[in-house]
A and B are shown apart, each in its own frame.
Chain A
Amino acid sequence: MKKTVRHLAKTFLIGTLLSTTALPALAAEQVNIYSFRQPYLMQPILEAFTKETGIKTNVVADGTGILERLKREGINSPADIVLTVDIGNLSELVKANVAQPLKTDVLEQNIPSQYRDPNGIWYGLTVRARNIFVATDRVKPDEIKTYEDLADPKWKGRVCTRPGKHPYNVALVASMIAHHGEEKAEQWLRALKANLAQKPQGADRAQLKALKEGVCDVAIMNSYYYGRMLTEDNPEELAIAKAATMIFPNQEDRGTHVNVSGMALTKSAPNKENAIKLMEYLSQPAAQQLYAQQNSEYPVNPRVEPSGVVASWGEFKADPLPLTEVAQHREAAVRLLDKVNYDG
């Protein structure tokens, strides 16, 4: 017994020693990425980058607490680039002061100013529209045209959304505050809550599913989910998508609320040059096409055409309000969602 315990203790010690040395290899050409995005979305594009430049990419993927890690690691953080989604996460990077400003001609040419930080702290990579979907057999497409229409009492018991506190909905509410002020936004949100068919639950795809099932007639979902459901080669998802009609809201006034996925250069960036290469690479047409196509999103680079299914939806008018302004109202939006007990 004693021997076994000693043996186990030894194994354990050796194991921990080995694991502590498992720091990222100090290869000459590499770039380190902290990513909020799922590995399966990132892998093809990073592989293409390595193939073209010979720079190896190291990734910590899909991490919720990445920002905190970056903050605590401070000047010694090995991360060069943060890849993330949602304006909320991007503006947190600014607030936490963990990213450094960067301006290059390539980035500024490729990425419209509306989708990047004015000081060059973050850059958008893809754009997604937060759209309204209706059940094709029960609702005519012209019955609902704007986000404001969602509050119309005629939709009582007919609307489905995911929980209000999800960043995508927070950004939508923040944009309502930006356009109408807090008081009006509160009235709108209360009326929308009163129209809900069920307690907000599930993620975006689940809302469209509920539409097909007849739980509700109107749903809110990001555009890329629709694109993926149509192209993923999954008969069930396809049937769900086909039962719905997508509407780009507010086409006759300010345009549809959009959000971005984006990137930033960290303050510590030990491989700054390689990082800038990767950032520029991601903004170029070839990468833009691949990156956007991977998740059925809109390329942020206006010279790149969206891929097949996304292109088939035609052009739409996006709300030109800079995302930094949406970000300024996020906190108020979260408090408002609590105040009207949207998720309760």
Chain B
Amino acid sequence: MSAETLIRVDNVGKKFCRDLKTGLWYGVRDLVSEFTGSANSGKQHLRPKEFWAVDDISFELKRGECLGLIGRNGAGKSTLLKMLNGLIKPDKGRIEMNGRIGALIELGAGFNPILTGRENIYNNGSVLGLKKKEIDGLLEEIIDFSEIGSFIDTPVQFYSSGMKVRLGFSVAVHMKPDVLILDEVLAVGDSGFKMKSFNKINEIMREAAVIFVSHSMPHIATITNQVLLMEAGKSAFQGDDVALGIDKYFSHFSGTDPKIEFNGLAQIKHFAIIPSHRYAQEKEEHPLIDYREDIEVDIHLSIDRSVADFHIKLQITDKDLKIVGIYDSFQFQEAVSNDREEHKLRITLPQSIFIDGEYAVSVFIQNRNVETKRMNILGLYRYWQKFKMRASKGLGVVPAVVYLPGTISNHSLAEISETPTKTLKTL
């Protein structure tokens, strides 16, 4: 029971047309060939202005597995899902779906806006092939989970987007699907509901095959056990090394290209991050830092004469463009006085505890206005230098920003007699 293959996708492709009018005309021609049954001859070829929105995708999914489908906007993820759900036909290849399919393709979709929440539950249920009695039995549970409460008898058109998602998700997961397709549905909904949803997905996964589309990599990392990275319709990465897939996904972004945002009063002449000793010989594009080694930064600056002194702030962002750490010299020392043509500085950030991955450092050179107590930016070099963290001891990818160091000490029995009193006091 646990190992049966529920989804089998073989070399599936789908064409789309760039031009609306041409697309409509192709639609008419497709209709004709569909009716005459002579469809196949031309289907494999692209007609003018067409492109493959999904190209040659294959995978299999068994009960108990969760596939994370990732890729940039327009990579073909939703098109693939629509084919899996039988809404549109593939232009090549073959899709086999087994069992009951629960799909949440788009926010609030599947609901008839003029029907009430309760009526929509029955509609969705009957569409999925459930008898009225079965739905009666699930109704309470669905309403409870969705936290809709007394709004269940209000037409869905008056629901907030969060309520629609909650109800849609609740219906989809309670219908006991064999295959569950979730497209970017947890983006809305408050964090409490998100948590609840993840737990529910984990619960369902034991008895179903789940396809999960999300742009939130922490979500992907938490619940999927294999990923398919799509890029312009094609599979760019596929496998059960979720961390590697996520890494590949991020490497497609050019959003972290170095950029000088402002350098009117301060210019960086030289900037380098010193790789850890252990990795010094490795030919990597970016310097490699070992977990719990110091990050050492060499920075050569020239500052405009009108500025008396300055501070340096380093802002470290991960691939999600999330700021994961900030160093600001203002916190630790007096301003560096601007007493020379070129400053040759070294900044040491001791014992970096970032998890494995690629990071970018943005450099802020600023000086503090004593009267207003505000920082004036003299120079801002965005994503100026990248570096990579790599734990030589192999901590693995964890869903965290930092990997906290710590110690365990083993108290002897004699010492324990003292500690309880301490604990009690702090309580």
Instruction: Decide whether A and B are members of one complex.
Output: no
Residues of A at the B interface (CB closer than 8 Å) are none
Chain B residues near A (Cβ < 8 Å): none
